[in-house]
């Protein structure tokens, strides 16, 4: 298996992009990545997308987007794994290059979620939950994560303030990210007093509905010298795991087994320990998700991540900077693109190009991207070459 590097990254400003179509959004990010990598062709591409058929009525994205990007007739594949579709697309591109099948591969992600309104988006997102045992009975993702939050609060004494601190920290980081959907700061009081969505989660505990795309270019590490425009970043670990889709069939509502397993696989492949990781992008679709993910990855003992967050250990300059991009909470969450945007941030940080939110001396970064309420997880570890 060949070593693989990321040599190009591209992302557009996320938000409510009314004047752009899905194909426009994707092509914009892809062209930025192609230009950033300095490549003159693409051998294949993988597109992370959760539900373009429900959001904009368009399927068959592989053909559509390769054509619109002007890259036909290259092989192109659309990847779906709920909210970790982007992470799965990145892993597929990594395997493609590592196997020797192709050399220059684009991994992208895109979602246009605002065109159908809030109710339609809620319906589309709920397809990533168990339709017969959860959605049929009226449960949507805010409700599922609210149950996880309540369970965590009851078992470990996690407080409402500690949940809010996740949003405060991520908005602080997002306020320094020019591509973020909501680049503003907030306060604990602002989070707690925002409109209730599903007790104990308020609006400011929830990631937004977002239009956006991101893309990266991968190539064999020994070819970096032919394309290098920036410090190259090597993919040293990749882990993938699944769990039951319904919360009711899990052993523990306060833990994410798929995240634990995917993280362990990525660390083993990379030959690293958690103490070697300089920063991590995690899937904070809700504030409680970030806390449980940090415990499932092993950065903190079970029940300790909330207090660590409150103490500032996950801030830039803390023990382990988490979601320097602003995370899903501030940067936005166009579900098919989120996993690729996490890679964008890690690569940008390892290059030293993150500006005000730069983690000093960052050499190794991790990205954790998951689908639904944790039914599938991708973890990747990258290191500057």
Active site residues: 83, 333
Using CB atoms within 10 A of its CB, is residue 360 exposed (0-12), middle (13-18) or buried (19+)? exposed
Give yes or no for a contact between 296 and 257, defined as CB atoms under 8 angstroms apart.
Answer: yes
Residues 6+ away with beta carbon under 8 Å from 374? 243, 256, 257, 258, 259, 292
206 DSSP β-pair partners: 286
Helix (H, G, I), strand (E, B) or coil at 38: coil
Helix (H, G, I), strand (E, B) or coil at 296: helix
Alpha carbons 317 and 133: distance in angstroms, whole number? 43
Give yes or no for a contact between 137 and 246, defined as CB atoms under 8 angstroms apart.
Answer: no
Alpha carbons 354 and 362: distance in angstroms, whole number? 11
Give yes or no for a contact between 374 and 259, defined as CB atoms under 8 angstroms apart.
Answer: yes
Give yes or no for a contact between 119 and 59, defined as CB atoms under 8 angstroms apart.
Answer: no
371 DSSP β-pair partners: 376
Question: How many residues belong to the chain?
Answer: 385
Query: E strands within 268-353?
Result: 279-281
Counts for the chain of helices (H) and strands (E), in that order? 14, 11
């Amino acid at each position: 298996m060949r070593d693989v590097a990321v040599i190009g990254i591209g992302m557009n400003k996320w938000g409510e992009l009314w004047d752009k179509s899905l194909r426009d959004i994707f092509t914009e990010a892809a062209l930025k990545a192609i230009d950033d990598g300095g490549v003159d062709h693409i051998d294949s591409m993988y597109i992370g997308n959760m539900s373009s058929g429900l959001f904009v009525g368009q399927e068959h994205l592989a053909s559509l987007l390769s054509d619109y990007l002007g890259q036909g007739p290259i092989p192109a594949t659309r990847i779906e794994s709920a909210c970790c579709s982007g992470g799965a697309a990145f892993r597929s591109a990594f395997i493609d290059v590592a196997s020797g099948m192709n050399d220059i591969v684009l991994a992208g992600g895109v979602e246009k979620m605002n065109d159908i309104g809030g109710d339609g988006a809620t319906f589309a997102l709920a397809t990533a939950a168990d339709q017969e045992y959860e959605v049929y009975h009226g449960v949507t993702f805010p409700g599922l994560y609210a149950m996880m939050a309540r369970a965590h609060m009851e078992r470990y004494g996690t407080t409402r303030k500690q949940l809010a601190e996740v949003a405060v920290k991520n908005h602080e980081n997002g306020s320094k990210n020019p591509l973020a959907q909501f680049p503003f700061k907030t306060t604990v009081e602002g989070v707690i007093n925002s409109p209730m969505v599903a007790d104990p989660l308020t609006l400011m505990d929830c990631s937004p509905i977002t239009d956006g795309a991101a893309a990266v270019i991968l190539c064999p590490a020994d070819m970096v010298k032919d394309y290098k425009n920036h410090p190259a970043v090597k993919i040293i670990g990749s882990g993938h795991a699944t769990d039951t889709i319904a919360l009711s069939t899990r052993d523990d509502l306060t833990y994410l087994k798929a995240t634990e397993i995917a993280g362990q696989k990525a660390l083993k492949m990379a030959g690293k320990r958690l103490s070697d990781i300089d920063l991590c992008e995690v899937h904070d679709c809700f504030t409680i998700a970030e806390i449980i993910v940090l415990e499932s990855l092993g950065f903190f003992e079970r029940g300790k991540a909330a207090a660590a967050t409150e103490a500032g250990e996950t801030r830039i300059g803390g023990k382990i900077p988490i979601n320097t991009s602003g995370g899903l909470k501030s940067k936005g969450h166009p579900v098919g693109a989120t996993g690729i945007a996490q890679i964008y941030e890690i690569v940008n940080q390892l290059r030293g190009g993150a500006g005000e939110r730069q983690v000093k001396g960052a050499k190794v970064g991790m990205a954790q991207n998951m689908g639904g309420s944790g039914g599938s997880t991708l973890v990747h570890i990258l290191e500057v070459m």
